[in-house]
Chains A and B, each alone.
Chain A
Amino acid sequence: MEDTICALSTAAGMGAIALIRVSGKDCFPIVNRFFKPISQKHDISKAEPYSCVLGKLIDDKGQTVDEVMLNLFKGPQSYTGEDVIEIACHGSTYIQEQILRLLTTNGARLADPGEYTLRAYINGKMDLSQAEAVADLIASENKASHQIALQHLKGGISKEIKALRKELIDFVSLIELELDFAEEDVEFADRSALNNLLKRIEGVLSSLISSYDTGNAIKSGVPVAIIGAPNAGKSTLLNLLLKEDKAIVTEIAGTTRDAIEDEISIDGVNYRFIDTAGIRETEDLVESIGIKKTFEKIEQSDLVLYLIDAERFNSKAERRVLNEELAHIVDKIGERNFILIINKVSSLKESIPESIQDLKPISMNAKDGFGLEQLNERISSFYNWGDLAAQQSIVTNVRHLKALQLSLVNIEKVQQGLNEGLSGDLLSFDIREALQNLGSIIGEVDVDKDILGNIFGKFCIGK
């Protein structure tokens, strides 16, 4: 129990508020890494225990995740008998996941079912009869997690993980064969074949890990960035999409103040607009190209709507600037889904250059809704979840994500070891860790039995 654990303590899913509990000897320093109190004098490392502190959680990009209230407890006077911090946050599942992500990337580990009670019990905070009161809870939690595991077992992700695990077990069996049966006439796998296998496994792990963002998008909405020069009509487009005139729109650039509603649904898929408050910027055109803010927005998004004011095509000088701007933006967008919108088409006098035509722009007049149907169709064409889920496995669970990330670290270590000629027992150590991590997702953890069974089944060994 040297490590610090965290978990959502309120019911899973959306609620008005949620409570995340962190317990363990490092819980204060861990939370302190990303918690910024409203007032300097409330620094939690100096704060009185059994007090409440208000502040913000800041992620590694400097973005505020949420404004939260912390309840501070010092061991042994706490539920688990260890230092405990309860984080009261807003109840969206997205925020919950993000906070757990912050905690786990900063050194905490997700608690196993019943682990808080177990710690409380072991630290003498409860006697057995008290612990009994939570017995049903623990039991039902396990039952539930069992059912969840079963559901996963039928689903794509566990199939994929089972397949990966099998390959890894084959791989480690070869290594073990070299170790335990070095004396015998066994054929050893050539290292380049092993390297290829590792590369493939790495690929699958990486794609599963990156599918978390897709999975998260399914759960929390596809993040959409609306970008473009000031006064290109971003607010108008947003309002059109939201179909509610909630943003304050004026003729003067930079007057959008509050993002009010920022989610819409098209064909059953949710889209979440990023930084709607910042859609109007006061920077001049040159600066707005490639400025950090736009790029950051693109980075956080999965879909980019890029607006160009049609009037700009009318001036030769503007067209040149535009070309440059476009090149920068397209470069940044990379693999993301991207829709180029030429707004205010009614004021277009010149023809649109071919280089822009190639990007299949949508002509719109956001003010009167012209082109909206075409835009919706284009957006939907990118996000056909039904097909997507059938084609590839999507990770939606932060625990699974963590296990996959840990496995990937292990696999990378094996690759490095293989290249450096590290001895098999140490390679095997890292592979076993990966197997443990993968196994924890599907509930198969008896690595040794699998390995030995595999060796005896496949190879002729024994004097």
Chain B
Amino acid sequence: MINQEYDVIVVGGGHAGAEAAAAAANLGAKTLLITMNLQTIGQMSCNPAMGGIAKGQIVREIDALGGLSGIISDKTAIQFRMLNRSKGPAMWSPRVQSDRWRFAEEWRLALEAIPNLDFFQDMVVDLEVSGDKIVAVHTGMGVRVRAKKVVLTNGTFLNGLIHIGEKNYGGGRAGERAATGITERLVKLGFESGRMKTGTPPRVDGRSLDYSKMEEQKGDDKPEKFSFSKETRALDKQRSCYITYTSEDVHEALREGFDRSPMFNGSIESLGPRYCPSIEDKINRFADKDRHQIFVEPEGWNTVEIYVNGFSTSLPQEVQEKALRMVKGFENVKIFRPGYAIEYDYFPPTQLKHSLETKLVDGLYFAGQINGTTGYEEAASQGLMAGINAARAVKEEDALVLSRDSAYIGVLIDDLITKGTEEPYRMFTSRAEYRILLRQDNADERLTPVGHDIGLVSDERMKEFHVKQSKTEALSSFIGDLSVRQEEINPVLEEKGLSPIKQTMKFDKILSRPQLSFSDFTGVEALKSFIFDNDIKDENIEQVEIALKYAGYITKEKENASKIDRLEHLSIPKNFDYTKLKSLSYEAREKLIKQQPATIKEAKGISGVSPADISVLLVYMGR
């Protein structure tokens, strides 16, 4: 089998690789997944959780497009919480605690269920390029496998270097070796590479902890789920997390080890994310804070292993242990695995097109941490897009590019490609200028038709989506037509201390008041029977309510988006000769030549390209 030419080879089996392989194979591409260890497909290298603020929205988008992360997260969840419930609906963010083993197992099984996906265990050490096209990969055991397209999802493995205290050794994850050869080849091919750093906290024995000294953090009373499909169900039982805090004593104990910290003694030079700092970084930078929060997260349904979230560290093991024992509830802690920091190679993502294909080598795609991102969700979504686009390219179809106003995935990729990143890039809602449009509740509305068009979403799921949409629309037009009388409404208004209505009113007008919601009017007979007769679900009510209450903001964001859209979607011909444009600034010319933007929008996003340069470009373009 290894002698045939594959349509798509995916290198790496983490969140990016697994999504890429699934998408490519599901779109009909003959796909091979090569990974150094088939036992660690879908491994959660860091915390045992999926989703969270902005990230939960991404998981919903992956699911809406036909990716698998949502379904697998649902199947392996041990706790569900909808974060930010008290904020506006654009902020609601689903998050689960996951069973780490089960998560990896479900991924493996899901991939095995895809007929035209093959697997091979080996390390890819070289890429074979002919002209400017990828043609094959070479493995450590000397196997050459040909492919039309290759997706690299190497995570932290490229020249990975693990640090614990003064010790360091090559490795891609604790207990796993690093991958070599790919960086060196890419640099020879003209790619620019860089180093990034990330870290992970110690994992400990749950039996050695005293939970009575911590605050319990339960899952939601009414847990929801990620996937829009009927394939998964919400949890009926959940496991709790616990919260405890560091103290001045803990900080002092940690400080004693600072001279042996690779962070401070110069052995780590690369940049880590500011928003995912190690505990030593936190107490160093925010010296006035006398305590920091620690989240005690179970690693699964049955295991006793605990993930000490918030205590990421690369201090010597004995320092970790000494400090941890001063944390409330951790007095007798037994460490299973110490925390560590890891440095790895990445490739500044400005070297990519919006399809995630590299500008330098045709048919070569990058996804995940290799692009300088952090986070499972960020990686998975890139993997999905790279897998989709690799498979589409095989069929000579146009790349699928999601716009900034249609998905967080669009924001993520656009940010990476046009702005690059100097520290591991994590998604925040504040990165999305149209976040009021990019809600977790409407990810299906935004993306399921897209997923269906490209062939990743099944007809059945599309049908379910249409049913949901038509119910929502029916309810929406029903309440727009429904006149309610004073006597039906005023008791509710009075109870809330609101001024009563003086004449019959349309129900949607009443509902648009901020203090009122559907649940206040369960007594209105016409509404009750409409909901019953038409089998209206909570999700339909939620959609209608959001559309009503945030109409002003939603319309405004849509207007802003379309305004920018029209001016910016003019495309720039490939190999456009910028040297002819004498009126461009020197810096702009250099950068435009280097980055070869595909549209005016991309050109605008390049730092150093001024509005004046854009005007010049607009006018000279196509000459």
Report B79-111 CB contacts with A as 1/0, cut-off 8 Å.
000011011101100000000000000000000
Pair B619/A134 contact, Cβ less than 8 Å: yes
Q: Shortest CB–CB separation between residue B434 and chain A, in angstroms?
A: 10
B366 → chain A closest CB, angstroms: 23
- Which residues on the B side are within 8 Å of A142 (C-beta)? 610-612, 615
**B304 near A: Cβ within 8 Å?**
no
**Does the CB pair A180–B429 fall under 8 Å?**
yes
Whether B292 pairs with A451 at a CB distance below 8 angstroms is no
Instruction: List A contacts of B292 (CB < 8 A).
Output: 185, 460
Docked-complex contact B273 and A425, CB < 8 angstroms: no
A171 CA to B70 CA in the complex, in Å? 35
Query: Does A423 make an interface contact (CB < 8 A)?
Result: yes
State whether A128 and B429 are in contact (beta carbons under 8 Å apart), knowing that A138-B615, A460-B292 are contacts in the complex: no
Interface size class on chain B is 35 or more
Min C-beta distance of A357 to chain B, whole Å = 55
Q: How far is the CB of A36 from chain B (nearest CB, A)?
A: 32
Q: Does B567 contact A (CB under 8 A)?
A: yes
The CA of A432 and the CA of B557, in the complex, are separated in Å by: 12
Contact A139/B289 with A429-B436, A456-B274 known, Cβ cut-off 8 Å: no
Residues of A contacting B559 with CB < 8 Å?
A: 2
Q: B616, A135: Cβ atoms under 8 Å?
A: yes
Annotate A112-153 by CB proximity to B: 1 below 8 A, 0 otherwise.
Answer: 011001100110000011011011101100110010000000
Once the chains are docked, how many angstroms separate the CA of A180 from the CA of B274?
14
In the assembled complex, the CB of B136 is this many whole angstroms from the nearest CB of chain A, namely 41
Chain B positions 401 through 437: 1 when the CB is less than 8 Å from some CB of chain A, otherwise 0: 0000000000000000000000000001111010110
Residues of A within 8 A of B429 (CB): 176, 179-180, 425
Q: A122-B566, A420-B514 are in contact. Are A462 and B276 (CB under 8 A)?
A: yes
Residue of A nearest to B294 (CB): A463
Residue of B nearest to A185 (CB): B293
> Which residues of the partner chain B approach A117 to less than 8 Å between Cβ atoms?
619
Q: Please indicate the chain A residues that have their CB under 8 angstroms from the CB of B91 in the complex.
A: 179, 182, 423-425
Is B282 positioned at the interface, with any CB of A under 8 Å from its CB? yes
Q: Are A128 and B620 in contact (CB under 8 A)?
A: yes
The answer to whether A179 touches B87, judged by C-beta atoms less than 8 angstroms apart, is: yes
Q: How far is the CA of A49 from the CA of B496 in the complex (A)?
A: 57
Does A444 make an interface contact (CB < 8 A)? no
A324 within 8 A of B: no
Q: How far is the CB of A351 from chain B (nearest CB, A)?
A: 61
Query: A460 and B289 in contact (CB under 8 A), knowing A138-B619, A139-B616?
Result: yes
B550 in contact (CB, < 8 A)? yes
Contact A425 B309 (CB under 8 A): no
Cβ A128 vs Cβ B87 within 8 A: no
Known A-B contacts A128-B621, A425-B436; the reply to A183 vs B52 at CB < 8 A is yes
Does chain B have a CB within 8 A of A368?
A: no
B276 touches A423 (CB 8 A): no
CB <8 Å contact, A176 and B430: yes
A16 within 8 A of B: no
- Residues in A lying within 8 Å of B, measured CB to CB: 1-2, 113-114, 117-118, 121-122, 128-129, 131-132, 134-136, 138-139, 142-143, 146, 176, 178-185, 420, 422-426, 428-429, 432, 448, 451-452, 455-456, 460-463
Interface residues of B (CB under 8 A from A): 47, 52-54, 83-84, 86-88, 90-91, 245, 273-277, 282, 285-286, 289, 291-293, 295, 309-310, 312, 428-431, 433, 435-436, 514, 550, 553, 556-557, 559, 562-563, 566-567, 583, 610-612, 615-616, 618-623
**28 A–B contacts from the bound complex (CB under 8 Å):** A114-B615, A117-B619, A128-B621, A128-B622, A128-B623, A131-B619, A132-B620, A135-B615, A142-B611, A179-B87, A179-B429, A180-B430, A181-B53, A182-B83, A182-B87, A183-B83, A423-B86, A424-B91, A425-B87, A429-B436, A451-B430, A455-B430, A456-B275, A460-B286, A461-B275, A462-B273, A463-B47, A463-B276
Q: Which 7 A-B pairs have the closest CB atoms?
A: A142-B612, A185-B293, A423-B88, A456-B274, A460-B286, A135-B619, A462-B275
